[in-house]
Amino acid sequence: MIEAVGLTKRFGAKTAVDQLSFQVRPGHVTGFLGPNGSGKSTTMRMILGLDQPTSGQVTINGRPFRELGNAQRNVGALLDAKAVHGGRRARTHLLSIAQLSGIPEKRVDEVLAVVGLQDVARRRTKGFSLGMGQRLGIATALLGDPRVLLFDEPVNGLDPEGILWVRNLMRQLASEGRTVFVSSHLMSEMALTADHLIVIGRGRLLADMGTQEFIAHNSAGFARVRAAGNDQDGRKALAAALTAAGGRVLQEPDGALRVTGLELPHISDLAHGVGVRLWELSPHRASLEEAYMRMTQSSVEYTSTEDPRAELWEPDPLALPAWEDGAAAPEVPQDGFFAPPPPGAGGKPFLMPGSAAELAGTAGTAPNNPEDTR
Amino acid sequence: MSFPAVLRSEWTKIRTVASTVWTLAAAAVVTVGMSALLCVFLNSQFENMPKEQQLAFDPTASSFAGMSLGQAAVIVFGVLVVGTEYSTGMIRTSLAAVPRRGSFLAGKLLVATALALAVGLVTSFVSFFTGQALLGEHSIGIGEPNVLRAVFGAGLYMAVIALFAMGLTMVLRSSMLALGILLPFVFLLSPILGSVDATQKVAYFFPNVAGSRIMQTVPAVLDGSEPPYGPWGGFGIMAAWAALAVVAGYAVLRKRDA
């Protein structure tokens, strides 16, 4: 259990971490999300006693890190894959850390095998790739078989096989009842790995909730409804009925309706009620990536003049010229709305995931959960 | 976490990097080699030296003459032991593993100083006997007054100069900065100040100048420039410098974020 209370860190006039309070509970993988410069690493460093908080405190199992007796046995951490002396061999690097806690030499070879570095154990670490460095760092964290594990960006530089391995490792460690705290800005990765999320921006806590809950709260899940033959009258009637039932209806350029606030079966019933046949009635769930973008867009620290998030965002399909008959339903606002795109360019009325991120976002969740089509 | 465990870990760390071997080997080779060369030269030129110099000839100190250059390697050793922790980022891994920073510092300094002392003692004994063998009829035996003190003192000098370098690097947290201050200090500032009458009294209290007094067995009375302390007094001044550097280094390590 990691507990932060009013944790604050100032560097001169700049506040890196501002009144942060959270708990990281055992038995879960807790993801730590935030844009670059939002204070993730500083928070990690304060947890490990490397930085002194300006005010507030953070404890591990009730005690500040610097007062823990046998640190390696209690807390394992990967902060920086390159934080090793490049002239030392992988095995002796681990050995020197193992000896601090009286961990037997046998355990060093064990963790080297766990992370898959047994073949390069006797090589100097300056020849290591970033991925090998990450593995060595993970080996360091695992050495003392600790109950609390911290990983700062553990999948940086890993190949897909390595990413999968880290994901399974995290989940396994958590299932053994350990406290696992992982920072990352790879949203799709977090969606698959973390059960719980702590999101910060500009050093402030933005969210502390379950991953599913976070996605549900911070993204616009919606239903896409398409009347048969794109028939305008049917659509108008349907839109009126949906609005009357308390739904919010927006119109997409290709004539489909984007409905929030109503569940799918209810929409179907209403369509039946007004006698409109449907060609499409599909749930759309936002991915963690969108939820995250939506939440942190105001707290991104470093933005380039060319929007750096552009590549993460879906191109906004709604920015196309407005459909001529806009009276029936209001246009989808085009400002700051980062929902997945409508079906492919040909307007084919079947569902394709808009992006890999969307795929990842739904893969980790119960698919097509009608509750989320608010 | 027990202190012996910290010592064991630091010993593993220090013996598994190439720079330890290279710097300490360089210190030994340079000291012994330079001293031997000087002793050969002195032996052959002894008759041509002025009378005063012949009288004040110190065969013991002559056999350590190479240490003035060899100490550069010892300083580099001390600087690198601490400095590479910072330059590589290893310090974060180290401190995440040893939350008590005092233990970390004490363990590191103790191991590195002990190693420098061991190498220093071997170097001083080898240098002494080699030098005396080459000095021929001008040599001195190890049983003569003050000679054994000087030989041990030369080993101690190496250990304390290494400790001083480590303490200073702890304060500066950078190998480059520490070397950039220490080497010009030892090889430019103290010889220059020491050769000018007006500033000589200041130079007497520099750690390397004060400390090297312990390697001499004949006081430099002839030119009237005897420092205001004895061999152990000078060594004490040097040790005080080292202690000051270590205390300041500890204060920095405790206070600053790693």
**Chain A 56-85, CB below 8 Å of chain B: which residues?**
65-72, 75, 77, 79-80, 82-85
Instruction: Report the relative pairing of strands A148-152 and A75-78 from DSSP bridges.
Output: parallel
The DSSP output letter for A321 is: P
Task: Note whether A80 contacts B90, CB cutoff 8 Å.
Answer: no
pLDDT tier at B230, thresholds 50, 70, 90 = confident
| End-to-end Cα distance, chain A | 35
Min Cα distance A294 → chain B (Å) is: 34
Task: Note whether B5 contacts A69, CB cutoff 8 Å.
Answer: no
Give yes or no for A92 touching B (CB within 8 A): yes
Min Cα distance B156 → chain A (Å) is: 28
- In the numeric block, the tokens 């005080």 are attached to B240
Q: What is the pLDDT of residue B110?
A: 97
Residues of chain A in contact with residue B8, where contact means CB-CB under 8 angstroms, are 99
Indicate the residue of B6, B9, B92 with minimum beta-carbon distance to A79. Answer: B92
Q: What is the pLDDT of residue A332?
A: 54
What string of pLDDT tens digits covers the 374 residues of chain A?
899 999 999 998 888 999 999 999 999 999 998 888 888 989 999 999 899 999 999 999 899 988 887 788 889 999 888 888 988 999 999 999 999 888 899 999 999 999 999 999 999 998 899 889 999 999 999 999 999 999 999 988 888 899 999 999 999 999 999 999 999 877 778 888 999 999 888 888 988 989 888 877 766 678 888 888 767 788 888 888 888 888 888 888 888 888 888 888 888 999 898 888 888 898 887 667 777 777 776 666 555 555 444 444 433 333 333 333 334 455 554 444 444 444 444 443 444 444 444 444 444 444 444 444 44
Indicate the residue of B9, B18, B89 with minimum beta-carbon distance to A83. Answer: B89
Min Cα distance B89 → chain A (Å) is: 4
**Chain A 137-196, CB below 8 Å of chain B: which residues?**
140
Residue B130 carries which side chain, given as an amino acid letter?
T
- In the numeric block, the tokens 């209001």 are attached to A330
Residues of chain B in contact with residue A54, where contact means CB-CB under 8 angstroms, are none
Residue B120 carries which side chain, given as an amino acid letter?
G
Min Cα distance B154 → chain A (Å) is: 30
Q: Which residue has the higher pLDDT, B75 or B94?
A: B75
Min Cα distance B208 → chain A (Å) is: 30
Indicate the residue of B9, B16, B93 with minimum beta-carbon distance to A89. Answer: B16
CA distance A61 to A147: 10
Q: What are phi and psi of B141, to 5 degrees?
A: -85, 160
Is the Cβ–Cβ distance between A148 and A60 less than 8 Å?
yes
Rg, chain B, Cα only: 19
Two tokens, residue A161: 């096989």
Can you say whether residue B136 is alpha, beta or left, with left for phi > 0 and alpha for psi between -120 and 50 degrees? left
Query: Percent of chain B scored above 90 by pLDDT?
Result: 61
CA distance A227 to A257: 8
Number of domains into which chain B is organized: 1
CA distance A194 to A151: 12
Q: In degrees to the nearest 10, what's the CA dihedral of B144, B149, B154, B155?
A: 120
Nearest chain A Cα to B6, which residue? Answer: A100
Give yes or no for B3 touching A (CB within 8 A): no
Q: What residues form DSSP beta bridges with A149?
A: A76, A180
What average pLDDT score do residues B8-25 get? Answer: 94
The correct CATH number of A2-216 out of 3.40.50.300, 3.40.1000.10, 3.30.470.20, 3.30.70.100 is: 3.40.50.300
Could you state, in order of their start, the residue ranges of all structural domains in chain A? Answer: 2-216, 220-372
Q: What is the pLDDT of residue A157?
A: 84
CA distance A274 to A271: 5
Is the Cβ–Cβ distance between A6 and A55 less than 8 Å?
yes
Nearest chain B Cα to A124, which residue? Answer: B17
Task: Note whether A71 contacts B5, CB cutoff 8 Å.
Answer: no
Task: Note whether A87 contacts B17, CB cutoff 8 Å.
Answer: yes
Task: Note whether B16 contacts A49, CB cutoff 8 Å.
Answer: no
**Chain B 86-105, CB below 8 Å of chain A: which residues?**
88-93, 95-101
ipTM for the whole complex: 0.85
Task: Note whether A99 contacts B9, CB cutoff 8 Å.
Answer: yes
Q: What residues form DSSP beta bridges with A7?
A: A20
Is the Cβ–Cβ distance between A274 and A241 less than 8 Å?
yes
Residues of chain A in contact with residue B254, where contact means CB-CB under 8 angstroms, are none
Q: What residues form DSSP beta bridges with B159?
A: none
pLDDT one-digit tens code per residue, B135-185: 988 888 888 888 999 999 999 999 999 999 999 999 999 999 999 999 999
The DSSP output letter for B179 is: H
Q: Enumerate residues 6+ apart whose C-beta is below 8 A from B223.
A: none
Residue A156 carries which side chain, given as an amino acid letter?
N
Q: What is the pLDDT of residue B134?
A: 92
Q: What are phi and psi of A256, to 5 degrees?
A: -75, 160
Indicate the residue of A49, A67, A88 with minimum beta-carbon distance to B16. Answer: A88
Min Cα distance A83 → chain B (Å) is: 4
Task: Note whether B16 contacts A92, CB cutoff 8 Å.
Answer: yes
Min Cα distance A245 → chain B (Å) is: 58
Residue ranges in chain A assigned as alpha helix (H) = 40-47, 71-74, 90-100, 105-114, 130-142, 160-175, 187-193, 211-218, 232-244, 264-273, 288-296, 356-363
Q: What is the pLDDT of residue A249?
A: 87
Cα angle B233, B235, B239; round to 5: 115
Q: Enumerate residues 6+ apart whose C-beta is below 8 A from A19.
A: A6, A7, A8, A56, A204, A205
Nearest chain A Cα to B4, which residue? Answer: A100
**3-state class of B100 per DSSP?**
coil
Q: Enumerate residues 6+ apart whose C-beta is below 8 A from B148.
A: B142
Q: What is the pLDDT of residue A374?
A: 43
- Residue B205: is its pLDDT beyond 70? yes
Indicate the residue of A79, A86, A101 with minimum beta-carbon distance to B5. Answer: A101
CA distance A86 to A129: 12
What average pLDDT score do residues B175-200 get? Answer: 90
Q: What is the pLDDT of residue A230?
A: 65
CA distance A156 to B116: 40
Indicate the residue of B10, B17, B257 with minimum beta-carbon distance to A50. Answer: B257
Q: What is the pLDDT of residue B72?
A: 95
Task: Note whether B97 contacts A71, CB cutoff 8 Å.
Answer: yes
- The whole-angstrom distance between residue A31's C-alpha and the CA centroid of its chain comes to 7
Is the Cβ–Cβ distance between A223 and A247 less than 8 Å?
no
Is the Cβ–Cβ distance between B183 and B87 less than 8 Å?
no
Task: Note whether B88 contacts A86, CB cutoff 8 Å.
Answer: yes
Residues of chain A in contact with residue B9, where contact means CB-CB under 8 angstroms, are 96-97, 99-100
CA distance B170 to B85: 10
Q: What residues form DSSP beta bridges with A29?
A: A180
Give yes or no for A315 touching B (CB within 8 A): no
Angstrom distances, CA of residue A213 to CA of A197, A355, B40: 9, 21, 84
Is the Cβ–Cβ distance between B162 and B77 less than 8 Å?
yes
**3-state class of A17 per DSSP?**
strand
Two tokens, residue B19: 């720079």
- The count of residues in chain B is 258
Task: Note whether A50 contacts B84, CB cutoff 8 Å.
Answer: no
Q: What are phi and psi of B77, to 5 degrees?
A: -55, -50
Q: What is the pLDDT of residue B100?
A: 85
CA distance A48 to A77: 8
Best A99, A103, A125, A149 residue to mutate vs chain B (most B CBs within 10 Å) = A99
**3-state class of B60 per DSSP?**
helix
Parent domain of B123: 3-255
- In the numeric block, the tokens 């500040």 are attached to A64
What average pLDDT score do residues B17-41 get? Answer: 94
